[in-house]
A = this chain, B = another copy of it.
């Protein structure tokens, strides 16, 4: 089965297929902990921004408030995240629980191992170039 000249030359398509591969790796990492790659990303964002509110989190993940709500509900049910009083009466402050902190450190180790394995056909230099180009794509 050929991809053909059009698909083969579409960066969007190559991006999709590469992402499919890396997200499978992330899935293997997060599944044993009972969460999805997207929820793992949410945990990492809360870890980097303790006290952030759901609206901020949703903007960073590029999902809407309703979806963010569900995300945080599940992380809270799992005992990984807790909602504390925010600066407003409207918003709440998201924090990792003690269990969440311990858990995510273990996930980070597994995540780096999984990325290394999934990207072993690229040299360290190539990985850096890829990273820089991907960031540049996002800079708008």
Contacts and interface: CB of A to CB of B under 8 A. Distances in A.
A127 interface: yes
A60 interface: yes
Interface string A22-43: 1101100000000001000100
A56 interface: yes
Contact of A11 (B45, B62, B119): B119
Interface residues of A, number: 57
Contacts of A56: 1
A90 interface: no
A131 B13 CA distance: 10
Given A115-B11, A127-B11, A131-B9, A62 B20 contact: yes
